[in-house]
Amino acid sequence: MTARIAELAAGYDQSGAFPAESLRTAHEAGLLTATIGKQYGGQGARVEESARILHRIGQGDPSVALIAAMTLNTHARQAVQPHWPEELYARLVKESFERPVLVNHARVEPELGSPARGGLPSTLARRTPDGWSLSGTKRFVTGAEGLDWFLVWATTDEPEPRVGTFLVPGGSPGIEVTGRWDQLGLRASGSHDVTFRDVEIPYEHVIGIGPYGAAAEQDNRAGAALHLPLAALYLGVARAAQSFFHTFAHERVPANLGHPVARTERFRRAAGEIEVLLTAAEELVFGGAARVDAGDTSYAPEQALGARVLADRHGVRAVELAVRLLGNPGLARGNPLERHFRDIQCAPVHAPQEDISLLAIGTKALNP
């Protein structure tokens, strides 16, 4: 599965097209449905297994892994704390076993930015005789062109406004991609801007609706089940870069040297540093995920944030070391390492970003 997705990755990176074939490959391997709860007929994969799945897919193509991560997290949350309308989720599960069904939140807005920094959405949910009508623009909606469900964070137009997540079918009239994703890395993730213009949905298609206020904002400390798998995803990118680095080191034989550069002290020392960086990060991420799954109450949310901060730093540093050792060949277009270098730059960008994470960690450290 990883090899097939990796084989397709360069083409999707160049075209920026939605990676449909790669996602079908992941679905056929049972990975897009792995976190569906056992009570719904699924495997019930939890945090550690999710992290290992995304680590492997990330080695092949992190754009595919990121799209998969959003769907896996949706099912994982439902398995732990059911919150979807029962009949609607049953339909989602049935269809998910038959074909790749993709789900993702639409939360970031042009004016608001990321909810991780606080604030409330300007996207408006207006009451209609039959349900809700949604209008607003969301940014960086990963997998936008292939989503079956958008989970749209919006404010109601009621006399006492509430905030909730509105479940919008992907094929609904009034949904338009209004800003194309054209970034340095994860070019095939399709994280486009999406505008909702008077999109009609039934009244019951809303979850987590509550009063307008701080309680409706994002809790950056509560997301270990997503932070750790996302960290693992990018460590997968770093492992792919490491693999190419090793291949290059064994195959490159300079005329003035007469043997592979893998035998030189310089390359062996760099290989050792890369291995230490990645092994340490994986120990933190997979070990933390195992503790979450085991219900270890001593594992604080700040520890998951810290694991992700260090994993992101280590992954970026490891790939930079590999590129530095290869020199110009490492930055050549069409070279897998060049793509891995671009993709790994996306690791620290995901909310909550490092400064927000360190603020939460430091606050806890100063006030234990």
Each residue of 268-278: pLDDT tens digit?
999 999 999 99
Residue 364 neighbours by CB distance under 10 Å: 16
The amino acid that residue 364 corresponds to is K
C-alpha count within 13 angstroms, C-beta hemisphere, residue 315: 33
What is the predicted pLDDT for the residue at 116? Answer: 63
Q: For residues 102 and 84, give the distance between their C-alpha atoms in angstroms, rounded to a whole number.
A: 15
Residue 212 tokens read as: 């307008």
Q: Which helix (H) or strand (E) holds 211?
A: strand 206-211
Q: Which contacts qualify for 156-162: CB closer than 8 Å, 24 or more apart?
A: 156/124, 156/125, 156/126, 156/127, 156/132, 156/209, 157/124, 157/125, 157/126, 157/127, 158/127, 160/211, 160/212, 161/212, 162/209, 162/210, 162/211, 162/212, 162/216
What is the predicted pLDDT for the residue at 20? Answer: 98
Q: Are 123 and 138 in contact (CB under 8 A)?
A: yes
Please report, in tens digits, the pLDDT of each residue of the chain (368 residues total): 999 999 999 999 999 999 999 999 999 999 999 999 999 999 999 999 999 999 999 999 999 999 999 999 999 999 999 999 999 999 999 999 999 999 999 999 998 867 766 778 999 999 999 999 999 999 999 999 999 999 999 999 999 999 999 999 999 999 999 999 999 999 999 999 999 999 999 999 999 998 865 444 555 556 778 899 999 999 999 999 999 999 999 999 999 999 999 999 999 999 999 999 999 999 999 999 999 999 999 999 999 999 999 999 999 999 999 999 999 999 999 899 999 999 999 999 988 899 999 999 999 999 98
252 CB contacts (<8 Å, ≥6 apart)? 260, 261
Q: Are 359 and 351 in contact (CB under 8 A)?
A: no
Q: For residues 64 and 152, give the distance between their C-alpha atoms in angstroms, rounded to a whole number.
A: 21
What is the predicted pLDDT for the residue at 215? Answer: 43
Taking phi over 0 as left and psi of -120 to 50 as alpha, with beta for the rest, 214 belongs to: alpha
Is the bond leading into 352 cis (omega within 30 degrees of zero)? yes
What is the predicted pLDDT for the residue at 114? Answer: 72
What is the predicted pLDDT for the residue at 90? Answer: 98
Q: For residues 29 and 363, give the distance between their C-alpha atoms in angstroms, rounded to a whole number.
A: 42
- Span 119-166, pLDDT tens digits: 789 999 999 999 999 999 999 999 999 999 999 999 999 999 999 999
pTM of the complete model: 0.95
**b/e for 115-133, b at 16 or more Cβ within 10 A?**
bbeeebbebbbeeeeebbb
Q: Please give the DSSP secondary-structure letter assigned to residue 108.
A: -
Q: For residues 132 and 205, give the distance between their C-alpha atoms in angstroms, rounded to a whole number.
A: 9
